[in-house]
Structure 1
Amino acid sequence: MNAGASRLRPADGPRYRLRDLFTPLETLLASGGDVRLALDPQSRLNAYGCAPVPSDEVWNFASSTASSISESAYERAALAREELVHKSLFDEVDVAFDARVEDMRDELRSHLQIPPRVDVVFSPSGTDSQLHALFLARAALGRPPVAIVVGSDQTGSGAAATARGHHFSSLTASGVSVRKDAPIAGLAGDSIALPLRDAVPVIAQRRDADAEILRAIETTVARGAPVLLQIMDSSKLGWRAPSDACLDEIARRWPGKVKIVVDACQMRLGRRRLRFYLDRGYMVLVTGSKFFGGPAFSGALLVPKGFSRALDQDAEIAPGFFDYASRSDWPKGWPALRSRFESRPNFGQWLRWEAALSEMAAYYAVPGAFRARALAELEAGIDSMIALTSSLSAVSAPRQTGVDDEEFAHATIFPFTLLRQGKPIPIADTSAIYRALARDMNGDIDGSAADREVAAQRCLVGQPVRIDLPDGTPHAALRLCVGARLVTEAWSPDAAKAQRNLQHILDRIAHVIVKIELLLGRADGAAQVTTSVSGV
């Protein structure tokens, strides 16, 4: 019997009741996650300024961080709950729930055009999925690997903890209180962080990333340790590493000693590119809550054929890992592993994935030619606006592109630093302006009626990403983001209408940039902005 067996619910323990599904839908959508999902009692927004109910009055260009749920996705979640309630009249809630989650695996595979041999492990967030990948790598390798994280400066805030098998929050999605950054019993290990930024002479992706990755693997393997290499596609700034040539070199030099997991949580990669990774035997971290615009958080780990062989009845399960997964998270094709986890339906996780699948279906229903055209036109328009705005300085975002990238040969994340009198503003001021963009600032701007109208519009952009400039001073970049919902809403079989829709999106982005300039140009500077938004 493994050490975690005692964690299983006893036969006479609490069952999930039908009435649990009658909790208000917005409450369910914000449940079953860590503290990042908690809603502020006054604003009813989470830490990212997003609501669990549709919020059309807020313009959302923040898909690299989080989005509020759309009206159509909210309706999908409501219908899904209604259907589960109906099925639960004839079966136990957890049995009906388990069957629906299994169907969702097929639906996700269908949208992403990946074969049935690829297994899907659901989770409350991409961060939780990183722990799942670490667990599976340990099982496949037979011992604890050293996790090497490529793009450690541009992945999720919890990745530094999950790479080492540590708790990334003070609360697990199963509701267990833990000590943040403390080791997870039986899962903790070593990790190596490999940042991607190179601040000299300009902010750009480092040119020696491949060499550094190979060096880190070589050093680790030389001391007898296997490797879990977490690669990036794409980062918070839209970057990818390592190169395909580097991946070929890793496969040639260290067969069987390096397991690879792709951080594709942003989901800004073509479906052919996704299959390229899976065909190579890599695990892939995905979410429905970044590019696709589902409500935060929803994670999944795509697992290629072969890993399930390591998950027999004797596979060791770290005792602390039982708090990070439940039975329905694992595919039904893994019965031995499933049987060792508690049947604990996570209604919030499920409904957020229902919403995300709705967004995926809508996006891929748009003709591929229009998806590519829309992303190309939005890229050109946003690049031009940033370049022509003296108070914004674009952050270089080189990408390795090819036929596998499909529409994602075009950038969808546009990072920039904020300038005052030609110099980057302090990181605290950037954060203050980020918060002010999400607020009605009409009463805080002295100017024309047009200026006050601009200031009143609430806008969400990607959270600040810290960037250290060549002088060592910490600054931050904001991000304008193009997500699937913008493409879906712009599409029309009427070409002229579709073009007008794309122009309307660009007009809104121009509005956001003007609001940034108004906030930057206030007579008292960003200090006054900081004071105005201190309560956000």
Structure 2
Amino acid sequence: MPELPSSSELLVAGGDERIRPLAGQRCNKYGISPGPATASVEFSSSTASHISADAFAAVESLRARLCNAPGEAAMHALYQQEFSRIRSGFFELCGLQQAEHAGTGWIVAESGTDAHFSAVRLAALRFRQPFRIVMPEFIETGRAVCDTLRKPNGVDGATVADIVEVRLRNADGSLRSIGEIDRDFHTAALVALAQDIPVLLIRADESKTGCRAPSADLLHMLVKAAPERVAVLIDACQLRISRGSLRGYLVNNYMVALTASKFFAAPSFCGALMVPPAWRAGLEEITRADACSQPSPNPGLLARWEAGLHTMQQYFAIPAALRQLLIARFGQAVHAAIQACPGFDLLARSAGVAANANTQDADAGDVNAATLFAFRVRRVAPSRHLTSLEMEQAYRTLQQSRHANGSSYLLGQPVACGSQDFQRTQCLRISLSATMVIELSRLPPEEAVTWLDQQVMTCLQTLKAIVDQQSS
């Protein structure tokens, strides 16, 4: 019988130091421990959340099945069977069992960054020459993505020709217009094509601060003009898109990078790349190459995906109207709390929605609604935005404090946003998770919305008090 670590240890296995508990502590650098938590109110799904008790029970059942395998070889076979089950469950949940999606594949990835790299490998196989990546700026997608996209992609040792970043925000953090963003994407793509350089376009849906760009119309226009020379990757690693949008992207032959570790609150390092049927030849080539390298199974990744799928199934079992009510109320609660906290400035969150008919939502109540909001914090007198160090201190203090009601509050970690006074300033993120929606759905609706209003307000007012204390 194979030996496996405990379920808590399994949930951080096969990741990196970011998800393992810090030395001598229960939590990792995100303030998350490898197990359920009962005393924290978590608006931190833009970064990381604790696993729910229900999802943890599903992981324990999975671990028991793996431990009951009669030997290592049997456990390896069972590992593959369990991932096939998770894939089938995810595809069924997203409506990808329909004939038009036959042949859709996925490449399991340890993270959203690794899913991006798989997309680069596929693009390299398609283009068979160096190509240009045009994408939103790295501060909106993840700094690790930059280094990963520039790695050799395994096709004749070639690398990406170059990467063009397009700014989504102005220097003051305000959102650029979708017209301006589209213009920069369009220009970069046309310059590359004029030089006989193929292009991989990356659309954020949505970015770290809630942006969706470039527009779906621009993607459609560029692909239609040069279908053999332009490919598209959708960065949906927050997985705050509807199932209808996911299906629409795949119908348009766009690859989609996603994770189950943000909105659906699985532990970090739980990603996948969705591959449309038109990319099957490249997918098969990558699969053969990876099979030859004989990578060892990653039970930790399997456990994290088990947690993610379990949460997805619970979430989509909630009546659509109730999901929509709770998501809308969260947005209202955030706006009310921001207005009640002088010095907190909400950032505009979306430069463009899915404009192409094929990417519109087909599921009633399953909408691309706002579940992530970014905001900046400034001192009122004298008026200035918090420095990066001050923002980090306020974020950590909130995370480590316990409010009078017995709860601790978690927000998404600070991220760079625009530039002010010749330096990058930071913003924090407050976001809703599927886990919180599931928990609220078990309450009477009136009680659920009251709780949501109170907790969002308490969280931000507590942060405000911390900032004011730092200023004194």
TM-score normalised over the length of structure 1: 0.80
Q: Kindly state the Cα deviation for residue 388 of structure 1 after the two structures are TM-superposed.
A: 2.6
Q: Kindly state the Cα deviation for residue 82 of structure 1 after the two structures are TM-superposed.
A: 0.8
Match of 1:503 in 2: 450
- Relative to structure 1, is the Cα distance of residues 74 and 202 closer, same or farther in structure 2, using a 3 angstrom cutoff? closer
Residue in structure 1 matching 2:416, options 455, 458, 466? 466
Residue in structure 2 matching 1:279, options 248, 251, 258? 251
- Residues 121 and 155 in structure 2, CA contact (< 8 A), matched pair in contact too: no
SS at structure 2 position matched to 1:267 = coil
In 2, Cα distance between the equivalents of 1:307 and 1:111? Answer: 22
- Letter in structure 2 aligned against 1:358: H
Q: Kindly state the Cα deviation for residue 375 of structure 1 after the two structures are TM-superposed.
A: 0.7
Q: Kindly state the Cα deviation for residue 80 of structure 1 after the two structures are TM-superposed.
A: 0.7
Query: Are 2:169 and 1:198 aligned?
Result: yes
Match of 1:173 in 2: none
- Letter in structure 1 aligned against 2:241: L
Match of 2:330 in 1: 378
- Relative to structure 1, is the Cα distance of residues 477 and 408 closer, same or farther in structure 2, using a 3 angstrom cutoff? farther
- Relative to structure 1, is the Cα distance of residues 100 and 229 closer, same or farther in structure 2, using a 3 angstrom cutoff? same
In 1, Cα distance between the equivalents of 2:184 and 2:72? Answer: 57
Q: Residue by residue, what CA displacement relative to the aligned partner does 1:377-425 show, whole Å, maximum 9, x if unpaired?
A: 1111211211232121111113534752854442111111112124312
In 1, Cα distance between the equivalents of 2:465 and 2:156? Answer: 51
Match of 1:19 in 2: 2
Match of 1:426 in 2: 387
Match of 2:361 in 1: 404
Q: Kindly state the Cα deviation for residue 201 of structure 1 after the two structures are TM-superposed.
A: 6.2
Residue in structure 2 matching 1:267, options 221, 236, 239? 239
Q: Kindly state the Cα deviation for residue 428 of structure 1 after the two structures are TM-superposed.
A: 1.1
- Residues 129 and 158 in structure 2, CA contact (< 8 A), matched pair in contact too: no
Residue in structure 1 matching 2:304, options 313, 333, 352? 352
- Residues 129 and 300 in structure 1, CA contact (< 8 A), matched pair in contact too: yes
Q: Residues 92-131 of structure 1 correspond to what in structure 2 (within 5 A)?
A: 92-115=74-97, 116-131=102-117
- Residues 61 and 462 in structure 1, CA contact (< 8 A), matched pair in contact too: yes
Q: Kindly state the Cα deviation for residue 286 of structure 1 after the two structures are TM-superposed.
A: 0.7
- Relative to structure 1, is the Cα distance of residues 248 and 46 closer, same or farther in structure 2, using a 3 angstrom cutoff? same
- Relative to structure 1, is the Cα distance of residues 397 and 347 closer, same or farther in structure 2, using a 3 angstrom cutoff? same
Residue in structure 2 matching 1:63, options 35, 41, 45? 45
In 2, Cα distance between the equivalents of 1:306 and 1:389? Answer: 50
Aligned length: 458
In 1, Cα distance between the equivalents of 2:366 and 2:335? Answer: 17
- Relative to structure 1, is the Cα distance of residues 90 and 476 closer, same or farther in structure 2, using a 3 angstrom cutoff? closer
Match of 2:131 in 1: 145
Q: Residues 441-452 of structure 1 correspond to what in structure 2 (within 5 A)?
A: none
Query: Which of structures 1 and 2 has the bigger CA Rg?
Result: 1
In 2, Cα distance between the equivalents of 1:187 and 1:76? Answer: 42
In 1, Cα distance between the equivalents of 2:7 and 2:158? Answer: 35
- Relative to structure 1, is the Cα distance of residues 64 and 342 closer, same or farther in structure 2, using a 3 angstrom cutoff? same
Match of 1:487 in 2: 437
Residue in structure 2 matching 1:243, options 215, 222, 243? 215
Query: Are 2:267 and 1:295 aligned?
Result: yes
SS at structure 1 position matched to 2:142 = coil
In 2, Cα distance between the equivalents of 1:141 and 1:473? Answer: 39
- Relative to structure 1, is the Cα distance of residues 90 and 212 closer, same or farther in structure 2, using a 3 angstrom cutoff? closer
In 1, Cα distance between the equivalents of 2:422 and 2:257? Answer: 33
- Residues 108 and 273 in structure 2, CA contact (< 8 A), matched pair in contact too: yes
SS at structure 1 position matched to 2:413 = strand
- Letter in structure 2 aligned against 1:194: E
Residue in structure 1 matching 2:282, options 303, 307, 310? 310
- Percent of residue pairs identical: 26
Match of 1:53 in 2: 35
Q: Residue by residue, what CA displacement relative to the aligned partner does 1:199-234 show, whole Å, maximum 9, x if unpaired?
A: 266621344111111111111122222122221100
TM-score normalised over the length of structure 2: 0.91
In 1, Cα distance between the equivalents of 2:250 and 2:76? Answer: 31
Match of 1:180 in 2: none
Query: Are 2:85 and 1:85 aligned?
Result: no
- Letter in structure 1 aligned against 2:144: G
- Residues 166 and 185 in structure 2, CA contact (< 8 A), matched pair in contact too: no
Q: Kindly state the Cα deviation for residue 301 of structure 1 after the two structures are TM-superposed.
A: 0.5
Which segments of 5 or more consecutive residues in structure 2 lack a partner in the other structure?
355-359
Q: Residue by residue, what CA displacement relative to the aligned partner does 1:449-482 show, whole Å, maximum 9, x if unpaired?
A: xxx626x742210111112345433211111101
- Relative to structure 1, is the Cα distance of residues 153 and 206 closer, same or farther in structure 2, using a 3 angstrom cutoff? farther
- Letter in structure 2 aligned against 1:513: L
Q: Kindly state the Cα deviation for residue 483 of structure 1 after the two structures are TM-superposed.
A: 1.1
- Relative to structure 1, is the Cα distance of residues 55 and 389 closer, same or farther in structure 2, using a 3 angstrom cutoff? same
Q: Kindly state the Cα deviation for residue 86 of structure 1 after the two structures are TM-superposed.
A: 2.5
In 1, Cα distance between the equivalents of 2:77 and 2:348? Answer: 50
Query: Are 2:216 and 1:230 aligned?
Result: no
Q: Residue by residue, what CA displacement relative to the aligned partner does 1:254-277 show, whole Å, maximum 9, x if unpaired?
A: 211011110000011111111111
Match of 1:186 in 2: 157
Q: Kindly state the Cα deviation for residue 146 of structure 1 after the two structures are TM-superposed.
A: 2.1
Residue in structure 2 matching 1:475, options 413, 425, 437? 425
Q: Kindly state the Cα deviation for residue 85 of structure 1 after the two structures are TM-superposed.
A: 2.4
- Residues 386 and 394 in structure 1, CA contact (< 8 A), matched pair in contact too: yes
Match of 1:12 in 2: none
Which segments of 5 or more consecutive residues in structure 1 lack a partner in the other structure?
1-17, 168-182, 318-333, 442-451, 527-536
- Relative to structure 1, is the Cα distance of residues 433 and 159 closer, same or farther in structure 2, using a 3 angstrom cutoff? same
Query: Are 2:153 and 1:163 aligned?
Result: no
- Relative to structure 1, is the Cα distance of residues 151 and 272 closer, same or farther in structure 2, using a 3 angstrom cutoff? farther
- Letter in structure 1 aligned against 2:139: D
- Letter in structure 2 aligned against 1:216: A
In 1, Cα distance between the equivalents of 2:183 and 2:261? Answer: 33
SS at structure 2 position matched to 1:476 = strand
Q: Kindly state the Cα deviation for residue 310 of structure 1 after the two structures are TM-superposed.
A: 3.1
- Residues 45 and 433 in structure 2, CA contact (< 8 A), matched pair in contact too: yes
In 2, Cα distance between the equivalents of 1:186 and 1:504? Answer: 55
- Residues 292 and 359 in structure 1, CA contact (< 8 A), matched pair in contact too: yes
- Letter in structure 2 aligned against 1:154: E
In 1, Cα distance between the equivalents of 2:162 and 2:44? Answer: 30
- Letter in structure 2 aligned against 1:55: A
Q: Residue by residue, what CA displacement relative to the aligned partner does 1:5-63 show, whole Å, maximum 9, x if unpaired?
A: xxxxxxxxxxxxx4332x12211111101232232122222221111111111221110
- Residues 163 and 191 in structure 1, CA contact (< 8 A), matched pair in contact too: no
- Letter in structure 2 aligned against 1:432: Q
- Relative to structure 1, is the Cα distance of residues 344 and 64 closer, same or farther in structure 2, using a 3 angstrom cutoff? same
In 2, Cα distance between the equivalents of 1:282 and 1:261? Answer: 6
